[in-house]
Amino acid sequence: MKLNEKLTALALMLSLSPVSSAFAEEATLNSGDTAWMIVSTALVMMMTPAGLALFYGGMSRYKNLLNTFAMTFMSYCLASVIWVVIGYTLAFGPDIGGLIGGLDYTFLNNITVKSLSGTIPTYVYVLFQMTFAGITVALVLGSIVDRMKFSSWLLFTTLWIVFIYCPIAHWVWGGGWMAKMGALDFAGGNVVHINAGVAGLVLSLVLGKRIGYGKETMFPSSIALTGLGAALLWFGWFGFNAGSQLAADGLAGSAFLVTNTSAAMGAISWMFTEWYFTRKPTVLGIASGIVAGLVSITPAAGFVDLSAALVIGLVAGVLGFICVSKLKHKMGYDDSLDAFGVHGMCGLWGALATGIFANPAVNPNGVGLLYGNPKQLLIQIISIAATAAFTAVGTLIVISITRLATHGLRVEKDDEISGLDYSQHGERAFEIPSS
Amino acid sequence: MKKIEAIIKPFKLDDVKEALNDLGIQGMTISEVKGYGRQKGHKEIYRGAEYVVDFIPKIKIEVIVAASMVDQVIDKIRNSANSGKIGDGKIFVIPIEQVVRVRTGEKGVDAL
């Protein structure tokens, strides 16, 4: 660039970087970061109504396919509204006692078009975080497909986002006590996966098993849809992990690298594990392994290097397979689509792995066990335990309120047998002509 | 007149259809059915949940013929649907009381 052009560019940049909200002292807007973060947000958004809806819908029984879609769609839609009204401020408002954010940003008050969070517009940051809230609550429904009343799900979602998701997001990312303690969670091992996994398990235990569970055949409606969903989730996860760097820089690139590697390793290791145990590698297994690998790398994405990613993905595939195919059947709970088995357990592995493999050469903010800091692992364990405990108890309370307000959580027996698409929505997923 | 109902393996449908056409039989009805006899089902495993699928997809062919043709038709079907393996199917013969052509109102053998 010539000198003239450089001066003009500088003048433009200075005029575009005014006062921000509570975040930066002398922040300037970086258009590269902003462009990337807007794209990242869109990528993560897609993970819920497209990726997860297909992934879960394809695994639901045919008669409940649309209900799974409906619950997933509404999770995102409700999160979209709740977040900008009250959720953002509870999670990212000025810290109160390390536990919750203040109400300064209710209805996004005190935030304007010009506000900055770091080098990106605050509005973009708000939306980015919103997509995480949306997918977290959507993950919970994976445990309870085929049997929950739609009205109950809508109320549950609303309460859960406000009272369970927002506090934990605040603790880890909003400057709360876990952040102060030094817990490492780059993109949501605690906030998203352990949180949703445990909540799903609790909800599935309260709702009870599906009629005929363990006796009747319950075929997934379409492994093809599930495979497509897994691919969309993988694609979107680049925004989830690499976007959590909040900047278009080398660390985002590193997170991008380890995310893809872990996903691929997870798929390969789940496939071979399944091949060994059942003699046949299934597409459902490959798709599940992809997600297991992605879940595990999520808390570690901005802290670990390539060799760690290979190990994290490898273990995730094996662990995920054992949890969904052995542990669940041994323990007898009906976590229908394995929100706990895949998200909860692989999220747990990822959070621990972060404490083990965090490499200061990648990110100076994270030093793990293998680099001379055993304390990090202890911090991770505390954060995992606290998340699990809060979610378990909190979800139970939310469930109780929901049950009272909607006169019961579970559909009538006849409705469950005839299918929720018909009983809750009066619709069919596919019109397949007989010719 | 008799109805011949044949349960056959789906991949044999084209062979059976051509064999029946050779005999001069130009019309038939088929349906996609499921069933089992001595051919056992198979196992499907979804994330550790093992399901035994007893019912195997088959095709049911229904043709109505004059009583005099029954033996020829049975032979033709048997030969063309035969793969030599368990699960090849069965053929049933059922008496038919009346046949009517919708377009013209013709009855009996004229309606075949």
* Residue range A358-372, pLDDT digits in tens: 999 999 999 999 999
Q: Supply the pLDDT for residue A6.
A: 59
Q: Supply the pLDDT for residue A33.
A: 97
Measured between CA atoms, how close is A101 to chain B, in angstroms? 41
Q: Which residues of A62-94 are buried (b: 16+ CB within 10 A; e: fewer)?
A: bbbbbbbbbbbbbbbebbbebbbebbbbbbbbe
Cβ atoms of residues A393 and A136 within 8 Å: no
Looking at beta carbons, which residues of chain A come within 8 Å of B53?
A: 217
> Model confidence at A198, in pLDDT bands (50, 70, 90)?
very high
Q: Write out pLDDT tens, residues A176-192.
A: 999 999 999 999 999 99
* Element holding B94 (H helix, E strand): strand B89-95
Domain B2-111 class? Answer: alpha beta
Percentage of chain B with pLDDT > 90?
77
For A245, which DSSP code?
G
Q: Which residues of B touch A (CB under 8 A)?
A: 44-49, 51, 53
Query: Which residue of A219, A276, A319 is the best one to mutate when testing the B interface, meaning the one whose CB has the most B CBs within 10 A?
Result: A219
For A33, which DSSP code?
H
**One-letter identity of residue A288:** S
Question: Around A226, how many Cα atoms within 13 Å sit in the side-chain half-sphere?
Answer: 27
Complex ipTM > 0.90? no
Which residue in chain A is spatially nearest to B32 when comparing CA positions? A434
pLDDT of A295 > 60? The answer is: yes
Is the C-alpha dihedral spanning B107, B109, B111, B112 positive or negative? positive
Q: For all residues of chain A together, what is the average pLDDT?
A: 94
Which residue in chain B is spatially nearest to A332 when comparing CA positions? B49
Token code pair at residue B12: 């044999």
Q: Write out pLDDT tens, residues A300-331.
A: 999 999 999 999 999 999 999 999 999 998 88
pLDDT of A381 > 90? The answer is: yes
Which residue in chain A is spatially nearest to B49 when comparing CA positions? A325
Token code pair at residue B60: 């049911």
For chain A, which domains are there?
29-209+221-421 (1.10.3430.10)
Q: Supply the pLDDT for residue A332.
A: 87
> Model confidence at A121, in pLDDT bands (50, 70, 90)?
very high
Nearest to A254 by CA among A236, A238, A242: A242
> Model confidence at A10, in pLDDT bands (50, 70, 90)?
low
- Average pLDDT over every residue of A191-201: 97
Residue with tokens 């995310």: A259
